[in-house]
Amino acid sequence: RNVPCENETKIHLGWCLIDPKTVEKTLPMLTELGVHKITFIHCRRSQQNFRLDFERFERIMESSIMQCGRTSLIELAESPALGTFLDENPDSVILDFCDNVLQHGEKMETVVIGCEGGFDASERKLFSAHRVRSLKSPMILRSETAAVAVISMSL
């Protein structure tokens, strides 16, 4: 069977940079969930010594698509700063702590997830023109858990 197997919704994850080893563990789940693109964002609280190995990430995704039946790899990109990313993706929904809870199936094409420690005050000032949502959970989630949860809710 040579029919493409992809999600109808092309979700773009703006993911503030975390430890690449954690990204490697999470990539198979994001591949299976049908994420179209991941842009790794260098945020104020991201550790600056992390180096992304896109070739390694692609090998991990290739193994994952063989198991789940997906027919394409997640597109990978990098952004130097959150402000740059938001300028390039003005319709982004931002996951942060607030009173506006993300609803299951809420329409979003691009979602931004913070790194460990979350966003700093200067980054939060950039959010005024964007939808900011939280998850309906009293727990503070790790970045990778939040990414999987938000993508799952968008399906």
Q: Which CATH superfamily is domain 12-154 in?
A: SPOUT methyltransferase, trefoil knot domain (3.40.1280.10)
Classify each residue of 24-55 as buried b or exposed e, where b means 16 or more C-beta atoms within 10 Å of its C-beta: eebbbbbbbbbbbebbbbbbbebeeebeeeee
**Residues 85-119 pLDDT 10s:** 999 999 999 999 999 999 988 999 999 999 888 99
Task: Please state, in angstroms and rounded to a whole number, the distance separating the CA atoms of residues 125 and 92.
Answer: 15
pTM: 0.94
Confidence (pLDDT) at 144: 97
| Residue spans per domain, the chain | 12-154
55's CB contacts (< 8 A; 6+ apart) are none
